[in-house]
Amino acid sequence: MSWAPRTIEHNALERAAMRVLFAIVVARHVPSSLAHLQITLPNGLARLVDLHFLLDPEVFAIGRYLLWAALILYVLRIGWSIALPYMTAFSIAAGSVNNSHGAISHYLQIVSLVLCAQTAAHFYSLVRRKREAGSGAAAQREQRVIYWSQQAIVATYLVSALTKLIRTSGMWFFQSPLIALQIIKTNDQDRYDNLGAGSYESASAIADWIVQHPLLTGIVLSAGLLLELIAPIALFGRGFAAAYGLSLLLFHATVHRVMKLHFLYNEYLIWIYLVNVPFWILLAWRAIGRRRQAVGRNALQN
Amino acid sequence: MRLRLAALAPFAPLLLLTAACLLIREQYPFSNFPMYSSFGRSTYYVYLTNGADEPLRSQELVGMTTPTLKKVYDGEMRREAKLLRTPRRKLTPEQKRAVGERLLARLKTTVPAVEAGAAFPETLRLHHVEIELIGGRIEKKPSLIAEVR
């Protein structure tokens, strides 16, 4: 492992797996309809453009069909100059409507930001096309799309950490034990959302324990803050990306268990762009192949 | 200096997105992700019941989860406080009730509520639960905010 940031060279199979998996995430993050929503407090793109037309189920269905067409082009790596801007615009429009009914959620932004990064990377590569012409130019352009996607993911965690420090004037450590109240709140809210199902006694016990052990809680929770703060480390190579990605997944699993808060799209994108399972499977496959060959050679020699 | 800037160039997307999210804040797709970034000694949530005070699944009933319902109520309360030029914590129960009644009236016009038709509860109540840390103990104080028929 090198202590210098570097672009990871992904092979064709990894890149194809990433395209397919990301396309599935993009298809899933857009709801089947926005008809149940009202635009009462326009947010984001809805402040600039009247998005009421998206509340019409028939119009939105056409938008989704076009999204699927764009996703097919994206997976096949054809017509990205049309597909990527459309995917990004539709994602931002749907997300803006979702956040324009008086309540702002934070589970979709990461997908839209990664799409923004991919679109920017694609057009940046087009601008530099003459300078980067050559046999591996297409692969290099896709490398840039992946690297910028990783940076968008990293940015969301870095921003989250910086906001904690800014809003508490650096005193997050001392405030963090008050998370006990939030644990009670989020678990109660979950209970009202799933009347009758689920177990909530442990949350109450955890909250009580936190209140009784503020110093220890501060240390444990500050580890989470530190994890977010060092997010750029994921850009230092495959090993760093995978190790950091797995740490984030553990962090999310803990938050989900204790606070009943699930950031599903964050987790999907971490699996795809940081942990990158296909690479490790390929690596293991090749290592097993080499070992078998070595065993075969040894058997012949003996 | 030029060397240092060149070293940062590969991180341009990270730096730009981080700056954009912190400066633009809550304008989709940007966000400064303020959830759980600071904590007070009290918090609260709201939930819905029918006229017999039986809790209702707000997601099915009005298309909003309980956390979303709280965010919408919170926004309405903030607007009311701004309109009345008074701190939110100083809003009287009557003023809160007015906000609650407006919210409940709005919930009755949502698509899931309209589609439910006669199955929609005749009476809809909005309850508030204050959670406070008092003397090293967590205490919950429930109260009824508003009711519409």
Q: Do A7 and B10 touch (CB under 8 A)?
A: yes
Which of A30, A125, A181, A233 has the most B C-beta neighbours within 10 Å, making it the best mutation to test the interface with B? A181
pLDDT at residue A252, rounded to an integer: 97
CB A191 within 8 A of CB A200: yes
Is B22:B31 a contact under the CB 8 Å cutoff? no
Q: In Å, how far from its chain's centre is CA B129?
A: 13
- CB nearest A148 (choices: B13, B44, B47): B13
Residue with token string 């009236």: B105
3-state class percentages of chain B: helix first, strand second, coil last, to nearest 5:
50, 20, 30
Q: What is the pLDDT of residues A267-291, one digit of tens each?
A: 999 999 999 999 999 999 999 999 9
- What is the pLDDT averaged over residues B21-31? 98
The rounded distance, in Å, linking the Cα atoms of A278 and A288 is: 15
Angstroms from A79 CA to nearest CA on chain B: 23
pLDDT band, very low/low/confident/very high, at A3 (cuts 50, 70, 90): low
DSSP A197: -
Say yes or no: B64 contacts chain A, CB-CB below 8 A: yes
* pTM reported for the whole predicted model: 0.92
Query: What pLDDT is recorded for position A202?
Result: 83
pLDDT in the model for residue B6: 79
* pLDDT score recorded for residue A6: 62
Characterize A187-223 residue by residue with b for buried, 16 or more Cβ atoms within 10 angstroms of its Cβ, and e for exposed. Answer: bbbbbbbeeeeeeeeebeebbbebbeeeeebbeebbe
The pLDDT value recorded for residue A23 is 98
Say whether residue A237 is in contact with chain B using an 8 A CB cutoff: no
- Name the residue of chain A whose CA is nearest to B71's CA: A103
- Can you give the pLDDT at residue A297? 87
Query: Span A132-148, mean pLDDT?
Result: 90
Which of the two residues, A32 and A197, has the higher pLDDT score? A32
Query: Is it the case that residue B68 has pLDDT exceeding 70?
Result: yes
- Residue A107, classed as helix, strand or coil, is coil
Return the DSSP state at B90: G
- B27-54 in b/e form (b: 16+ CB < 10 A) is bbbbbbbbbbbbbeeebbbbbbbeeeee
| Dihedral over alpha carbons A132, A133, A138, A142 (to 10 degrees) | 10
Distance of CA A111 to the CA centre of its chain: 6
Calculate the alpha carbon distances from B136 to A33, A177, A211, A273, B29 in Å: 46, 11, 6, 43, 40
Domain residue ranges in chain A? 137-289
d(CA A200, CA B72): 25
Please tell me the predicted confidence (pLDDT) of residue B3: 59
What is the tens place of the pLDDT at every residue in A81-98? 999 999 999 999 999 999
Q: pLDDT tens-digit profile of A160-179?
A: 999 999 999 999 999 999 99
Q: Across chain B, what does the average pLDDT equal? A: 94
Report how many Cβ contacts below 8 Å link chain A to chain B: 182
**Residue % of chain B over a pLDDT of 90:** 89
When pLDDT is cut at 50, 70 and 90, the band that residue B30 belongs to is very high
Spatial CB neighbours of A290, under 8 Å, sequence gap ≥ 6: none
Please list the residues that pair with A217 across neighbouring strands.
Answer: none
Show residues of chain B in contact with A179, CB under 8 Å.
36, 39
- For A173, nearest residue in chain B (alpha carbons): B38
Q: pLDDT tens digits for B69-112?
A: 999 999 999 999 999 999 988 999 999 999 999 999 999 999 99
Contact B45 A43 (CB under 8 A): no
Q: Is A60 helix (H, G, I), strand (E, B) or coil?
A: helix
pLDDT of A212 strictly over 70: yes
ipTM reported for the complex, 2 dp? 0.92
Chain B residues in contact with A121 by the CB 8 A cut-off are 13
Residue A137 above 80 pLDDT?
A: yes
Q: Do B37 and A158 touch (CB under 8 A)?
A: no
Average pLDDT, chain A: 93
| Least confident segment among A33-37, A96-100, A201-205, B33-37 | A201-205
| Two tokens, residue A234 | 């994921």
pLDDT at position A7 is: 65
pLDDT confidence of residue A132: 83
B1 has pLDDT over 80:
no
pLDDT at A199: 66
Inspect the interface and report whether the beta carbons of A184 and B11 lie closer than 8 Å: no
CB contact under 8 A, B29 and A195: no
pLDDT confidence bin for A201, thresholds 50/70/90: confident
Residue A197 banded pLDDT, cuts 50, 70, 90? low
Q: Which residues of A touch B137 (CB under 8 A)?
A: 211
Question: DSSP strand E in chain B: where?
Answer: 42-49, 124-134, 137-148
The shortest C-alpha distance from B60 to chain A (Å) reads 9
